[in-house]
Amino acid sequence: MSRAIVFTSGKGGVGKSTLTLGVGRALADIGCRVAIIDTDIGLNNLDVLMGVENKVIYDITDVIENRCRLSQALIADGDGNGLFLLPSSHGYEQCRGDGQSFREVVMRLKASFEFVLIDCPAGIEFGFHRAVAAADEAIVVTSAHLSALKDAAKVAALIGSYRLPCKLVINRVRGDLILSGETLTVEEIKNSMNVDVLGVVPEDDRINSISCGSSSIGRGDGKNAVKLLASNIYGTSDDIFDATKKYRGFFGGLKRKLRGKV
């Protein structure tokens, strides 16, 4: 059965777009057909992140207002890896779709894709409600910062009012700071949020590395954690990436010291 999952957060800049794309590519890598929708109307991100902004002719507003067919607006990622993007419109004034029309677009995508991943705009305004109302499940993305956690808790409560299953992903986790007691541990976040943790993604500068090709999302720990998150979503694993592992032991201690000096 096809699943529509919204990636949301409340706070901007915590990694929703990065993880929507990363999970989409990881699911496509294991053979799933995946559509991702950029619902950040007017502030298009995903086409830029995917490196396909020059290919955008039609967008979600054109689909909703019947100026094109859905298939004409979809842009393929990489070399036919099974991932497609429905881009957001570039002009704020063009945004006329309501919750019902978004839901219809998602329903039509679900007829041909196993996963429809919805990248939600920041905030809890109309754009948030429109994106959440179109989904079957929600992933709340947060960093370990208190302000992001506060917003994530608020968003999780709002999602509860939609009766959607909701899980938490903690992004940009600094294993070195967890070990030195300077930031909350995954366990502490889990207990304070009262939402199940579906994944942890470490801080990793290579996460958006475009030098690795358009169908890749960087390499290293960030990529491995995103792959693990995707298989947790798919249901073939139930593991949480350990961001502290590489900072433990003798060499790990050296890495922590070095990182502290940067």
Ligand X SMILES: Nc1ncnc2c1ncn2[C@@H]1O[C@H](COP(=O)(O)OP(=O)(O)O)[C@@H](O)[C@H]1O
The DSSP bridge pattern shows strands 75-76 and 83-86 to be antiparallel
List binders of Mg ion among 9-28 (CB under 5 A): 16-17
| DSSP H/E element including 76 | strand 75-76
For 209-241, letters b (16+ CB in 10 Å) and e give: beeeeebbbbeebbbebbbbbbbbbbeeeeebb
Which region holds residue 32: left if phi is over 0, alpha if psi is between -120 and 50, else beta?
beta
Which is nearer to ligand X, 9 or 88 (by Cβ)? 9
| Among positions 6, 8, 17, 29, the unique one binding ligand X when judged by CB under 6 A | 17
Q: Is 204 among the residues that bind ligand X (CB under 6 A)?
A: yes
Q: How far apart (Å, rounded) are the C-alpha atoms in residues 160 and 175?
A: 30
| Among positions 222, 229, 233, 243, the unique one binding ligand X when judged by CB under 6 A | 222
Residue with tokens 């507003």: 61
| Among positions 8, 45, 143, 183, the unique one binding Mg ion when judged by CB under 5 A | 45
User: Which two structure tokens, joined as six digits, stand for 158?
Assistant: 């709002």
| Nearest distance, CB of residue 84 and ligand X, angstroms | 19
Q: How far apart (Å, rounded) are the C-alpha atoms in residues 226 and 26?
A: 7
Range in contact with Mg ion (rule: CB under 5 A) among 45-53, 56-64, 87-95, 171-179: 45-53
Q: Is 142 among the residues that bind Mg ion (CB under 5 A)?
A: no
| Among positions 172, 174, 227, 256, the unique one binding ligand X when judged by CB under 6 A | 172
Which is nearer to Mg ion, 17 or 143 (by Cβ)? 17
Which is nearer to ligand X, 8 or 70 (by Cβ)? 8
Q: Which residues bind ligand X (CB under 6 A)?
A: 9, 12-18, 45, 122, 171-172, 201, 203-205, 207-208, 222
